[in-house]
Amino acid sequence: MPLSIYNTLNRRLEPLRPRDPKRVTFYTCGPTVYDDAHIGNFRSFLAADVLRRFIESPLCELEGSGPGPRSVVHVMNITDVGHMTDDDQADGGGEDKMAVAGRRLLEQKKSGKLPPGVELDPNSPYDIARFYTMRFLDDAKKLGLKVAIEHDKDASLMPRATANVPGMIALIGKLIERGHAYVVGPAGARVVYFHVPSFEGYGALSGNTLDALREGAGGRVGTENQSGKKHPADFLLWKEDSTHIMKWDSPWGAGYPGWHIECSVMSAARLCGSGSVLSPAQLVQMQVPDAQPIIDIHSGGEDNIFPHHECEIAQSCCAFNASHSGPYAGMWFHPRFLFVEGAKMSKSKGNFFTARQLYLPAPEGKGIAPAAIRLELIRTHYRSNANFTEQGLKDSARMVERWRRFMDTAGKGSTSSDAAARGACREAIAAAMHDDLNIAGVLGELNGWLGRVDAPGPEDAELLREIDAVLGVLELEQAKSAQTDIGVFIGCEADPAVLAKLNERVEAKKAKDFARSDAIRNDLAAMGYQIKDVAGGKVEVRRG
RNA sequence: GGCCGCGUGCCCGAGUGGUCUAAGGGAACGGAUUGCAAACCCGUUUGUCGGCGGUUCGAAUCCGCCCGCGGCCUCCA
C-alpha cells in the first residue's frame, strides 16, 4: 500500500504523487520570529518533520515509484517581517509585533534577564528578529527538526522574508502585468492589492469562495476600511509607508510587503530551481504548465488554511501557471491545534509553554528530555486536537527510556530475535505509517514487539534504528546530566549543598542508620530534588 | 450562518464490515526485589466503542440526523 495522506484540498485521503519521486518538494510555513516558538507551533512543525522523514525512509512506498533512495527538499521559511496585516481593523491595537517585542526585550535587558553574550539593540527590528531566529533554530535542532539541522549546511532551506523582498517586488510586478493586481492611492500612500475575483479557483482549499464569504454572518469582510479596493476580499500585496519600522524601496514607493506574498516567492525560489535559488528575474520568467503542481507538499497549522494558504494559491497560480490556474501544491497537509491540560493554551491560565521552558535545565526550564517532548508532541494523530499533559510527558519519557534500554541491551547482544517476528513488526509499522501517518499504530506494534523480545541483538537494534529514523526520538540528546563520584544529576547542576547531603546519606547508610538516611532524602525533597539509588552505587538526582 | 476536523476504558490511543468478549503505552491494585524507596520483572483490574435511527446474516467500522469539542470565515502553528 502506497503512502496516503489526507489532502485538505480535496478533503480526502489521497496517495502522495510527487512529480519526481526521487526529489520530493515540500514547503512548510515557518515561525514568525517576534517571540519564542511554543509547543503548539512545534507540534505542527514536528508533524511535517515526521512526514518528510517517512518519505525518506526505506519503509516508505510511493504510488507509481520504485523503492528509494529518495530525498525530500524541505523548505521552512522564517517570517522576520513584523507588520503584515492588511487592514488595521483586523488587529485591535494595530501595533507592529516587532515593536512590541522590542519593548519586551528592552525590559529584559534592563533587568539583566537576557542570556549572557547577547548583543542586541531592542530598537532594531532586525536585531530582534535575529535574536528570536537564533533561538528558534536552537529549539528546532533540540527537537530534531531535520530542516533546521540541514540549515547549518544549506541556509537556503530556511529563507528569511527580509532577504526575499526583491523577489516579492518582482512577483507583485508580474501579478500587476498579468492583470491580477492593481495599485490604488496617491503617491506617498499607495497600496497594491491582489484582485481576488481575477482568480477562479479562489476558495477551493478552504471552502471560503467569494459567495461563501459574502454570505458569512460572522465574516469580517465589511465595507469599512476598504476604500480603494475593487472587491472586499482583495488582499494586500504592498503598502507604501515611509514611517514603517521596516521598509524597502519599490516601484510603488518605500513600504512593506503583504503577509501572503513571501511564501509564494520563497517556495518557488528554492523548490523550483534545481538545487539553486531562483533570482527575482528568474521568478518573473518562470512558467509552469497548467494542472501541474508547482510544489509537491505544503504544510502549515490549520489556522493557515484561510486566508493565508488560500491567498498563497491565488498568487502563485496567477503568477506561475500558464493559464493562471492550477493546484500550486499537490498535497496540503494541515496538523490540528494542541491543547495543554485539557484547555487551550493561554498565558493567563498558566498552561502556556515555549519549547525552551520545557527542555532547558532548572531553574530556567523544567529540564525535560527533548526526546520525551518530541514523542509526546508527535504521538497523537496530526488531524486530532492533541492534549499535552504532564502525565503524557511522563508516559513518553518512560517509553523513550525503555527504547534506550533496548538499544543498550541489543548493543551487547550477539544474536538477534526471531527474524519472522521482526519482519512482521516492520511490515505492520510501515502499513500504519502509510495510512495517513498513524503513529499511535506504530507505537502499538513497536512496543508489542519490544516486549516480546527477551534478548535483543544487532538486527533488532537495526530495526529500532530504522523506525526511529522516522520518529526521530532516540537520536536526540539526553537530558543534560553531570556525573560526580556519587551522583548523576539530570537536568540540574551538581550543587555542593546537595553533594554534602548525598555524602552524609552514604555514611548513614553505611552505618545502617536508615532513619537518618530517609530523613536526608526528605530534606532533599523539600529542597526540590528527587533522588533514587541506581546501579553502580550512585544516586540519580532530578529537580522537581 | 457557511466551510472543515475530531468524539473508543481513569489517561494517551490502536481498530477502516465477521478472528473485537476491542492492540499497545501509562495509571491503580497485588506479588517478586529493595534496609525503605526507585527501576526492572510477573499477575490482576477498568470499556460495547458520544446519542438515536438505518443498511447488512453481521457495524466501533457504511449511511442519515442529533449532541459535544475544536479550527477558519482577513493577527494567529
Higher-scoring residue by pLDDT: A491, A281: A281
Gap from A240 CA to B40 C1', Å: 67
Query: Residue A329: how many CA atoms within 13 Å on its side-chain side?
Result: 31
Is pLDDT above 80 for A117?
no
Three cell numbers written together for A175:
501579478
Gap from A444 CA to B26 C1', Å: 13
Is pLDDT above 50 for A86?
no
Residue (of A107, A102, A158) closest to A127 by Cα position = A102
Is pLDDT above 80 for A348?
no
Cα(A304)–Cα(A510) distance, integer angstroms: 62
Cα(A334)–Cα(A316) distance, integer angstroms: 19
Residue nearest to nucleotide B26 (CA to C1'): A395
Q: For residues A129-157, give the mean pLDDT.
A: 95
Residue (of A248, A250, A263) closest to A319 by Cα position = A263
Is pLDDT above 60 for A223?
no
Residue nearest to nucleotide B27 (CA to C1'): A391
CATH fold of A7-84+92-335 = Rossmann fold (3.40.50)
Gap from A534 CA to B30 C1', Å: 25
- What lies within 8 Å, CB to CB, of A97 at 6+ separation is A32, A34, A82, A83
Residue nearest to nucleotide B70 (CA to C1'): A385
A401, closest nucleotide (Cα–C1'): B39
Gap from A338 CA to B34 C1', Å: 41
Residue nearest to nucleotide B39 (CA to C1'): A534
Gap from A310 CA to B25 C1', Å: 39
Asked if A195 and A182 touch (Cβ cutoff 8 Å), the reply is yes
Tell me the three state secondary structure of residue A25.
strand
Q: Residue A395: what are its φ and ψ, rounded to 5°? A: -55, -45
A218, closest nucleotide (Cα–C1'): B73
Domain with CATH 3.40.50.620 in chain A: 7-84+92-335
Gap from A183 CA to B2 C1', Å: 31
pLDDT level of residue A215 (50, 70, 90 thresholds): low
A532, closest nucleotide (Cα–C1'): B38
Three cell numbers written together for A157:
532551506
Q: For residues A461-465, give the mean pLDDT.
A: 92
Q: Residue A189: what are its φ and ψ, rounded to 5°? A: -145, 45
**How much is the pLDDT for A161?**
95
Strand-pair category, A539-543 with A529-533? antiparallel
**How much is the pLDDT for A297?**
96
A233, closest nucleotide (Cα–C1'): B74
Counting runs of H as helices and runs of E as strands, what totals does chain A give?
A: 17, 17
* DSSP type of residue A5: E
**How much is the pLDDT for A221?**
44
Is pLDDT above 50 for A93?
no
Q: Note if the bond before A115 is cis, omega within 30 degrees.
A: no
Is pLDDT above 80 for A422?
yes
Strand-pair category, A329-333 with A338-340? unpaired
What is the four-CA torsion angle of A436, A439, A445, A446, rounded to 10 degrees? 140
Q: For residues A449-468, give the mean pLDDT.
A: 89
**How much is the pLDDT for A282?**
96
**How much is the pLDDT for A304?**
92
Q: Is this complex's ipTM strictly greater than 0.95?
A: no
Asked if A240 and A189 touch (Cβ cutoff 8 Å), the reply is yes
Cα(A472)–Cα(A56) distance, integer angstroms: 12
What is the four-CA torsion angle of A279, A283, A288, A294, rounded to 10 degrees? 70
A219, closest nucleotide (Cα–C1'): B73
Gap from A216 CA to B3 C1', Å: 10
Cα(A60)–Cα(A200) distance, integer angstroms: 36
Q: For residues A17-39, give the mean pLDDT.
A: 93
Residue nearest to nucleotide B75 (CA to C1'): A91
**How much is the pLDDT for A544?**
57
Asked if A260 and A308 touch (Cβ cutoff 8 Å), the reply is yes
**How much is the pLDDT for A95?**
62
Asked if A70 and A151 touch (Cβ cutoff 8 Å), the reply is no
Residue (of A357, A199, A358) closest to A264 by Cα position = A199
- What lies within 8 Å, CB to CB, of A379 at 6+ separation is A396, A439, A440, A443
A276-285, A321-330, A402-411, A455-464: segment of lowest average pLDDT:
A321-330
Tell me the three state secondary structure of residue A23.
strand
**How much is the pLDDT for A294?**
92
Gap from A9 CA to B24 C1', Å: 33
Nucleotides of B under 7 A from a protein CB: 1-8, 11-16, 23-27, 35-40, 42, 69-77
Is pLDDT above 60 for A83?
no
Is pLDDT above 90 for A299?
yes
A444, closest nucleotide (Cα–C1'): B24
**How much is the pLDDT for A109?**
80
Gap from A395 CA to B40 C1', Å: 16
